[in-house]
Amino acid sequence: MARRVLDVFLSSTARDLAHHRDAVYNRLKTTGLFHCIRQEDFGPQNADAVDFCCRNVQASDMFVGLVGLRRGWEPDGDNKKRSITEMEHDWAREAGSRRFLWVSPDDFPVPGDLRESDSEHERQQAFRKRTMAGGERIVSQKGFATPELLASAIVERLQLEIITTDLIALLRPEMETRPATAPANAPAPSIEDQKPAIAAAVEQLAADKDIDLLELARNPAGLDVADLEAKLKARAEAHEAEGHPLVDQGTRALQASAEYWRHLGALAFLHDTAKALTAYEKATVLDPANAGGWCYLGELRFRRGEIEAAETAFDALLKIGVTQADKRAQTMACMRLGWIFLLRGQLTEAEEFQTEAARLAGQIEWTEGLARAYANLGVIHQTRGNLAQAEEFYLKSLRLDEELGRKEGIAAAYANLGVIHQTRGDLAQAEVFQLKSLKLEEELGSKQGLARAYGNLGVIHQTRGNLAQAEEFYLKSLRLEEELGRKQGIAAAYGNLGVIHQIRGDLAQAEVFHLKSLKLNDELGRKEGIAATYANLGIIYDARHDRSRTCEYWRKARDLYREMGLAEKAAELDSWLKHRKCPQP
């Protein structure tokens, strides 16, 4: 079945890009895929035109912005003195629209009669800088040689976006959204990290005449992904057979082979971990200087719980980033190495890597990367029990994600802020944040996000003493986590259900749930989860007056918290041990 026509709002600065704007407008209309809307369709530049633009920008499926060197119309009444193009850009960002911006080169020729004041020029230069550095999804300065070339590049980019989105929806199971071993409240790897690789694979398939971009964008039904992956593999193997590392031409063949392996890995990354892993392993052997190959290889290893192998890949990514002066690659590497040390309970090292990721992201003005690093730092401080510092980082992350319109990041920030308030005993505010998170996760259709929200709402109701409601939320969370196959989420749900049964006095069932949780946390190597479970099992044995096992499990919990540097939790367990007069080893 053919897709519905998508509304695209086309925004452009003044007369310096008039011909380019018209070419893009006409080309979009000929595809049959897009209904193109622009301010010029309304008429005179007045308050009604501003309202027209605002309503249509916010209602559109996509936003295409052409940003030139000249300012254009600045509507009256805006205290920021924004141009209409700048206002349209901001409305699209606030609405969370898919945004695509093309910024003319700094030496783009401008007709001599297009004059503007120095202050207008300064404001336009600031806007250009902001669009280039503001973490937009697509920003390009290519294709301005002729209006026709730009129109062709933009339409192809939008087609690639449609096809890539279709592939993600078709192939990417929810279980792949976050490594199974990642901390429960840590942000998932962003889908934006994967989109360029998927788009590059689709673009290569189009260049090889395996697919027609326009036809596939019009009607995605019947796409044979297995056949496309087989073709990519065949070409990778053919180039590899031609290559020899001691011959220049052979080296180029090996690099071409590696590129095809990366394309195959990008598609398989969405649905077949083993196939993707094989492809990226081949790519890193054939082209070891490519940062993308090591990044995705590390994520796949991490996804499978192969933590040491993941660390090796991320170390390689960091070295490449340093050697090539690629600060984005360095940022990605530091962020992921921070995941690993957080998982191991080595919070000092985790903080060092995430702090470095934030510093690097700030230097290159990568807003999304900075937001994610702040969120990770919040997780670290929350794990330590430093709630004020955690809250500060979560709020920083939230502000940046709101600027970007990143619903995934906003939902995660709301969930984490809710946990902060729940820990402080402010259950009303905690519930407000969790319900906001739940609403966004429902809009996103994220099972994993919903499972997290249900679990957090369960804790709130449990704290209030509403055990039946808490159990209902925990069971909802458990069902979703089981569908996703996420061991960590299942372990958390088991632990929460165990606590419910503890409170009710059903110690036998509580023990069953905690032992299930312990088994999964052991498999994942999650020290914090293991320690919490030991503490709960100790409470059960204490209720049974089994002093020996009570002391054993509380000592185990205390020692793990000490290893992780969680002094307050370790001290709490010490007080329990002293109260029960447990012998010290």
| pLDDT exceeds cutoff 70 at 248 | no
Say what the pLDDT of residue 45 is.
65
pLDDT-derived band at 1, boundaries 50, 70, 90: very low
Which of 564, 561, 174 is CA-nearest to residue 349?
Answer: 564
Question: Worst-scoring range by mean pLDDT, 9-18, 96-105, 238-247, 429-438?
Answer: 238-247
Instruction: Report the pLDDT value the prediction gives residue 166, as an integer from 0 to 100.
Output: 83
Tens digit of each residue's pLDDT (9 = 90 or more) over 60-79: 999 999 988 888 888 888 88
pLDDT single digits (tens) 121-144: 888 888 888 887 655 556 677 778
**For range 141-163, the mean pLDDT:** 89
Across the range 48-71, mean pLDDT stands at: 89
- For residue 78, give every residue at least 6 positions away whose Cβ sits within 8 Å of its Cβ, in sequence order, or none: 87
Distance CA 387, CA 583 (A): 33
pLDDT band for 175, please (50, 70, 90 cuts): very low
Q: What is the mean pLDDT of residues 392-399?
A: 97
Average pLDDT over residues 342-364: 93
Task: Give CA 256 to chain center in angstroms.
Answer: 29
Question: pTM of the prediction?
Answer: 0.77
Mean pLDDT of all residues belonging to the chain: 88
Domain ranges within the chain, ordered by starting residue: 6-144, 172-325
What does the alpha-carbon distance between residue 250 and residue 246 come to, in Å, rounded to a whole number?
A: 7
CATH number of 172-325: 1.25.40.10
Question: Region 320-328: what's the mean pLDDT?
Answer: 96
Mean pLDDT of 85-101: 86
Helix residue ranges per DSSP H, 324-406: 327-343, 347-363, 367-384, 387-404
Single out the residue of 41, 47, 49 nearest to residue 25, CA to CA.
41
b/e map of 270-292 (b: 16 or more CB within 10 Å)?
bbbbebbbbbbbbbbebbeebbb
Considering the domain 6-144, what is its CATH architecture? 3-Layer(aba) Sandwich (3.40)
pLDDT tens-digit profile of 425-481? 999 999 999 999 999 999 888 888 899 999 999 999 999 999 999 999 999 999 999
